[in-house]
A = this chain, B = another copy of it.
Amino acid sequence: MLDTSKRVVIVGLGLLGGRYALGLTRAGFAVDGIDRSPEAVEFALKEGYIQRGAAENFAPLLAEAGYVVLGLYPTALLDWLKQYGGLLPAGCLVTDTCGVKTGVVDAAQALMPEGVEFIGSHPMAGKEVSGVTNAHLVDFAPANFIITPTEKNTEAGLTFAWSLAETLGFQHITTLTPAEHDQMIGYVSQLTHAIAVSLMCASDNGRLAEYTGDSFRDLTRIARINAQMWAELFLWNRDNLMKEIDQFEGALTQLRACLERGDREELEAMFRLSTQRRAVFDKKQ
């Protein structure tokens, strides 16, 4: 269980940071918020997501922090820690919301001052919208929450991350190593976004919009993408993602070869394999 007498500081009042602030305030915590944008801080104050906020001079709020959530993209997160990490008070527990973990968790842990523990976590609850003004639209209940502990973490750190996820309403909470997490996310999230984006970039077929049905719309929904965030996620995980793209491209090339030589038998075999494998994903829904 989290200790509601400890103050929470959210660093980065974006879509997820804002939603954490809202959820933790509702759960009875005293939540403060930090963001370089005065508008984001003002919005969070006005909506009652936070009790106190700061767009500069972060030291007073951080000095009182018992729990800290870094709601920043990977590059900004490490930059922030380099500049302000020393302000984190001994004894506080810190986590993040980044969608990639290798290179982020180790580096963040190395930047912690004495007596401060960082444990990585990833709330898999993104949307096609961004910013604190959309935070109330995020639904954590059906989403996965992945905790990525390392040998640097303690039982107390793990319990903090797990309780945070429970408090926020996540129903599926699991732990993976940072490497396992990034391999998984390369497949279930990044590859599918790479495919949807490539499909849109391949040709300018807006004139065909009137003919599209559910299958096209479902497949391309995620092609509306937050360019800055996804560039970060893709580049921070590029080795895994390139490997997934290569495997996918291999299968697509195989399918195209079936077409080229009119190989109905192998084409049907691919369709049967596809159907059989997809059924597994339905069962575990």
Contact = CB atoms under 8 A, between A and B. Distances in A.
Interface of A: 124, 143-144, 146, 172, 174, 184-185, 187-189, 191-206, 208-213, 215-228, 230-231, 234-235, 238, 241-242, 244-256, 259-260, 262, 264, 267-268, 270-275, 277-285
Copies per complex?
2
Given A144-B211, A195-B195, A223-B274, 5 more contacts: A198-B248, A203-B247, A226-B271, A234-B267, A235-B267
Contact of A223 (B210, B252, B278): B278
A217 B142 CA distance: 13
A228 B277 contact: no
A281 B213 contact: no
Nearest to A260: B242
A284 B219 contact: no
Contact of A209 (B203, B208, B242, B281): B281
Contact of A205 (B187, B202, B250): B187
Which DSSP category, helix, strand, loop or mixed, fits chain A's interface? helix
A53 to B, nearest CB: 29
B201 A268 contact: no
Task: Give the 6 A-B CB pairs with smallest separation, nearest first.
Answer: A227-B271, A209-B284, A206-B280, A218-B218, A200-B274, A198-B251
Contacts of A284: 209-210, 212
Nearest to A272: B227
A126 to B, nearest CB: 8
A60 B237 CA distance: 67
A235 B259 contact: yes
B224 A274 contact: yes
Contacts of A203: 187, 244, 247
B216 A219 contact: no
A273 B196 CA distance: 12
A228 B262 CA distance: 14
A69 B259 CA distance: 29
A141 to B, nearest CB: 12
A234 B219 contact: no
Of residues A224, A242, A283, which shows the largest number of chain B Cβ atoms within 10 Å of its Cβ?
Answer: A224
A210 B271 contact: no
B188 A199 contact: no
Contacts of A215: 189, 192-193, 221-222
A159 B197 CA distance: 40
A246 B248 CA distance: 14
A200 B255 contact: no
Contacts of A187: 203, 205, 208
Contacts of A192: 199, 215-216, 219-220
Given A206-B281, A260-B242, A225 B144 contact: no
